[in-house]
Amino acid sequence: MDAAKKLYIVMVGLPARGKSTISGKLRENLVRDHIRTRIFNNGDLRRKLSPEDTSYPEFYDPKNRKGVALREKIALINLGRAMDYLRGTGQVAILDATNVSATRRKKTADMLSDHPVLFIECINQDLEILKSSIDRKVTLPEFHHLGKEAAIRSFSQRIRYYESIYTPVNKERNFVQLDSLYNKILHEEISDDIPYYDLIRDLLVADTVKNLFLIRHGETFFNLQNRIGGNSGLTENGKVQAGALARYFKNRKIPVIFTSEKKRTIQTAVPIMQQQQNCAIIPLKEFNEIDSGTCERMSYAEIRDRMPHVYLARKHNKYNYIYPQGEGYVSMKERVDKGIKKALYLSRNPQNIMIVGHRAVNRMILSHFLYRREEDVPYIYVPQDKFYHIVATQTKKLFQLKPYDMG
């Protein structure tokens, strides 16, 4: 990399759209590539500089002159710090703020005239994900003085104030509009020679996880009876497995555990959460086990005896077969992929992510990162006494099946 090349990255987007997650992902990977990169976050600076409470929504009202003046001051300070950084040894300065108005972006581009400026706009229209993202946001320290519902109302009003002045990027010289949930570039316009752009673009669209712990739920009563589907709870042995997992991960910081909506995954996750500090369980319907339709709650022996046509057809092509009035591996791929995107989005780029799922679902999650042939996916080994540790970054791929001590 040419150390003489310098770049400003200016984030754009409404609150809770993933700007800070994308900023952190870019910085981490650019630094790994020996590109000196620093983030200048307006929210962090606001919380440091302002002695008064700035979590109340009216602070963000465009008609609130005092609030506007303070936010303008903070923006100018960070712009100055970013310029100083690039005047020195820095190579990439990331300005992490909403920057939703065209006026603010023009002023920013005019000030940062010494090096190229790349605007990255984060867009997410998924209302369910936005709700979950807000639920995560209001756990931040600045909302601790409020109850959860009051904090959600406050943050939602903050978003509405930003929406009132929001103009999407379209006239800037260099910009990328990014679907920040699906890591998909919606539109890009590059007029200048943007340093490191090939690497940055690849990072924007790639799914990366530093440590994903993929766990199958503990033993259930249906497991003992070889029955599929349903909503069975854990056996005593399953509860012992959950407790052993909790002890195994006790000294690893797990900020969030994603589960399905089924009680067997939640029952497995609860003991793990109880051994953590500030850990949340987030059930996602996308991680629900395969819907076996008219075969729900049946054993494989009962399917073979009562519905031999189903048994033989599925045996012939397990990946593409769809249960009557249900689904199959092939038809659950889209929802499981969406669940992975949701989990990565809501995790806010932590060191450790945990998913407690089911056998078929975990096979699909593994295939997302392993790139197995479709016909092999239904046969990936997913035991209940071991878990998968997955690392998938630009520079490293690691898949380990690891046991945990049941003692």
- Which tens digit of pLDDT belongs to each residue from 64-85? 998 899 899 999 999 999 999 9
Question: Residue 219 — very low, low, confident or very high, per pLDDT cuts 50/70/90?
Answer: very high
- Which tens digit of pLDDT belongs to each residue from 81-114? 999 999 999 999 999 999 999 999 999 999 999 9
pLDDT at position 379, please?
95
Q: What percentage of the chain reaches a pLDDT higher than 90? A: 77
Mean of the pLDDT values across residues 144-165?
Answer: 91
CA distance 211 to 309: 42
pLDDT at position 9, please?
98
Is the pLDDT confidence value at 2 over 80? no
- Which tens digit of pLDDT belongs to each residue from 272-286? 999 999 898 999 999
List, in order of start, the domains of the chain with CATH numbers: 7-205 (3.40.50.300), 209-403 (3.40.50.1240)
Question: Residue 139 — very low, low, confident or very high, per pLDDT cuts 50/70/90?
Answer: confident
What residues form DSSP beta bridges with 120?
11, 176
Q: How far is CA 17 from CA 20, 285, 312, in A?
A: 9, 21, 47
Distance of CA 292 to the CA centre of its chain: 28
Number of Cβ within a 10 Å radius of residue 393: 17
Is the pLDDT confidence value at 339 over 90? yes
Question: Whole-prediction pTM value?
Answer: 0.83
Number of Cβ within a 10 Å radius of residue 146: 17
Question: At 122, is the secondary structure helix, strand, or coil?
Answer: strand
Q: How far is CA 320 from CA 230, 323, 375, in A?
A: 22, 10, 8
Whether residue 282 contacts residue 132, with contact meaning beta carbons closer than 8 Å, is answered with yes
Q: How far is CA 377 from CA 42, 350, 365, 381, in A?
A: 45, 28, 10, 9
**In degrees to the nearest 10, what's the CA dihedral of 394, 395, 397, 402?**
-120
Mean of the pLDDT values across residues 125-153?
Answer: 84
- Which tens digit of pLDDT belongs to each residue from 380-407? 999 999 999 999 887 888 999 999 987 6
Strands (E), 143-252: 174-179, 184-190, 209-216
Question: Residue 256 — very low, low, confident or very high, per pLDDT cuts 50/70/90?
Answer: very high
Nearest to 151 by CA among 141, 160, 161: 141
Lowest-confidence range among 170-179, 209-218, 253-262, 363-372? 363-372
Phi-psi group of 393: left, alpha or beta (phi > 0 → left; psi -120 to 50 → alpha; rest → beta)? beta
